[in-house]
């Protein structure tokens, strides 16, 4: 297996550019390489996810099918932040089904879908505690959204998180009886799992 650096810029992507890889979030292209593997030459994007201490090599030919994309435009980021102020839309289905839907939205790489998960799973201090799995999904969605907002608006992660939390605080007040019943149901589902 040999590795050779190739010229900058392939298929609309270039080195040192931030990109979104759906199942991992925001990363940075650190190189575009050619590797000879079993007699075939593959062109690869080398993507670094600094926060996760992970490097991913994505074949150039698989970029579209993998869903890798450029960072969202600033107006889409604004729209995603506005999504956070809306009313939470929680289906009355089993927690396990909802959890799968939330996971699919997070891994879709779509910023608006991720914002919907953040909005739907957000709990104010006055609300009942989240179950462990709810908290995990919320933090995963929040982290993905925070990283993209930070990269697009050139903020630190903590500044982006404060911006997101300020938007969530503008949303309708939550914490009624229905929310308590739902939290108890999710907790019971967690204990059963």
Q: What is the tens place of the pLDDT at every residue in 113-150? A: 999 999 999 987 777 788 899 999 999 999 999 999 99
| Mean pLDDT, residues 20-37 | 90
In terms of residue numbers, what domain contains 14?
2-70
Q: For residue 180, what pLDDT is reported?
A: 45
* Residues 163, 87 share a domain: yes
* Residues 165, 130 share a domain: yes
pTM of the model: 0.79
* Residues 78, 52 share a domain: no
Q: How many domains does the chain have?
A: 2
Question: Whose CA is closest to 153, among 73, 42, 97?
Answer: 73
Question: Which CATH number characterizes residue 39's domain?
Answer: 2.40.10.170
* Residues 78, 56 share a domain: no
Q: What is the tens place of the pLDDT at every residue in 170-183? A: 888 654 444 444 44
**50 Cβ contact partners less than 8 Å away, ≥ 6 residues apart:** 28
Q: What is the tens place of the pLDDT at every residue in 143-174? A: 999 999 999 999 999 999 999 999 998 888 65
Distance, CA of 79 to CA of 100 (rounded, Å): 24
Residue 64, pLDDT above cutoff 80: yes
* Residues 87, 167 share a domain: yes
| Angle, helix 74-83 to helix 132-153, in steps of 10 degrees | 150
* Residues 79, 66 share a domain: no
Mean pLDDT of the chain: 84
């Amino acid at each position: 297996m040999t590795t050779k650096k190739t010229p900058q810029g392939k298929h609309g992507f270039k080195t040192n550019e931030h990109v979104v890889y759906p199942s991992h979030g925001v990363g940075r292209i650190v190189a575009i390489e050619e590797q000879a593997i079993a007699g075939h030459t593959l062109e690869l994007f080398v993507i670094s996810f600094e926060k996760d201490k992970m490097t991913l090599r994505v074949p150039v030919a698989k970029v579209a099918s993998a869903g890798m994309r450029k960072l969202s435009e600033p107006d889409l980021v604004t729209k995603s932040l506005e999504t956070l102020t809306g009313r939470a839309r929680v289906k009355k289905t089993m927690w396990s089904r909802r959890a799968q839907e939330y996971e699919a939205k997070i891994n879709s790489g779509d910023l608006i879908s991720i914002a919907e998960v953040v909005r739907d799973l957000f709990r104010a201090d006055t609300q009942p505690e989240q179950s462990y799995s709810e908290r995990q999904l919320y933090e995963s969605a929040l982290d993905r959204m925070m990283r993209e907002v930070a990269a697009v608006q050139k903020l630190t992660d903590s500044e982006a998180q404060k911006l997101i939390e300020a938007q969530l605080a503008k949303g309708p007040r939550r914490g009624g009886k229905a929310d308590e019943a739902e939290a108890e149901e999710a907790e019971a589902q967690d204990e059963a799992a």
